[in-house]
Amino acid sequence: LTRGATEPDLRERHVVVTAGGTREPLDPVRFLGNRSSGKQGYALASTAAARGARVTLIAANTSLPDPAGVDVVPVGTAVQLREAVLKAAADADAVVMAAAVADFRPAVYAPGKIKKKDDQDPEPIALIRNPDILAEISADRARPGQVVVGFAAETDNVLVNGRAKLERKGCDLLVVNEVGERKTFGSEENEAVVLGADGSETPVPYGPKEALAETVWNLVARRLS
Site for ligand CTP in 53-92 (CB under 6 A): 78
The number of residues that bind Ca ion (CB under 5 A) is: 1
Examine residue 221 and tell whether it contacts ligand CTP (CB under 6 A). no
48's contact among ligand CTP, Ca ion, none, with CB below 5 to 8 A by partner kind, is: none
Stretch that binds ligand CTP, among 6-14, 146-154, 183-191, 199-207 (CB under 6 A): 146-154
Examine residue 132 and tell whether it contacts ligand CTP (CB under 6 A). yes
Is residue 34 annotated as a catalytic residue, yes or no? Answer: yes
Examine residue 150 and tell whether it contacts ligand CTP (CB under 6 A). yes
Whole-angstrom Cα distance, residue 50 to residue 10?
9
Q: Is 131 flagged in the annotation as binding?
A: yes
Query: Facing residues of 21 across strands?
Result: 100
Q: Is 133 helix (H, G, I), strand (E, B) or coil?
A: helix
Question: What contacts 129, CB < 8 A, 6 or more positions away?
Answer: 103, 104
Q: What is the DSSP string of 157-170?
A: SHHHHHHHHHHHHT
Contact 207, 189 (CB under 8 A): yes
Q: Smallest distance from the beta carbon of 49 to ligand CTP, in angstroms? A: 21
| Contact map string, positions 158 to 177, toward ligand CTP, x by CB under 6 A | -------x------------
Which residue type sits at 149?
Answer: V
Contact 26, 65 (CB under 8 A): no
The number of residues that bind ligand CTP (CB under 6 A) is: 15
Whole-angstrom Cα distance, residue 30 to residue 32?
7
Q: Is 185 flagged in the annotation as binding?
A: no
| Contact map string, positions 100 to 119, toward Ca ion, x by CB under 5 A | ---x----------------
Number of H helices, E strands in the chain: 5, 12
Examine residue 219 and tell whether it contacts ligand CTP (CB under 6 A). no
**Crossing angle for the helix pair 209-224 and 39-50, to the nearest 10 degrees:** 50
Binding footprint of ligand CTP on the chain (CB under 6 A)? 78, 97, 99, 101, 103, 130-134, 150-153, 165
Return the active site residues: 34
